[in-house]
Amino acid sequence: VFMGRLRKKIGNDRIETVRGLGYRLKPLHDEVDSL
């Protein structure tokens, strides 16, 4: 339930499910370009 609500707020494409571990946030495209 918590992850579903979080996905609605920040978007499905930002949260990645890592099987056996949990969840991981993907960086925004702007964050990757600035590195």
Q: Show me where the domains of the chain are located.
A: 2-33
Phi and psi of 22, rounded to 5°?
145, -125
**What is the pLDDT confidence band of residue 35, given thresholds at 50, 70 and 90?**
low
Phi and psi of 11, rounded to 5°?
105, 145
Asked if 16 and 9 touch (Cβ cutoff 8 Å), the reply is: no
d(CA 23, CA 35): 23
Q: What is the pLDDT of residues 6-32, one digit of tens each?
A: 999 999 999 999 999 999 999 887 656
**What is the pLDDT confidence band of residue 33, given thresholds at 50, 70 and 90?**
low
- Single out the residue of 25, 31, 32 nearest to residue 9, CA to CA: 25
Q: What does DSSP say about strands 22-25 and 15-18: parallel, antiparallel, or unpaired?
A: antiparallel
Residue 1: the pLDDT is 85
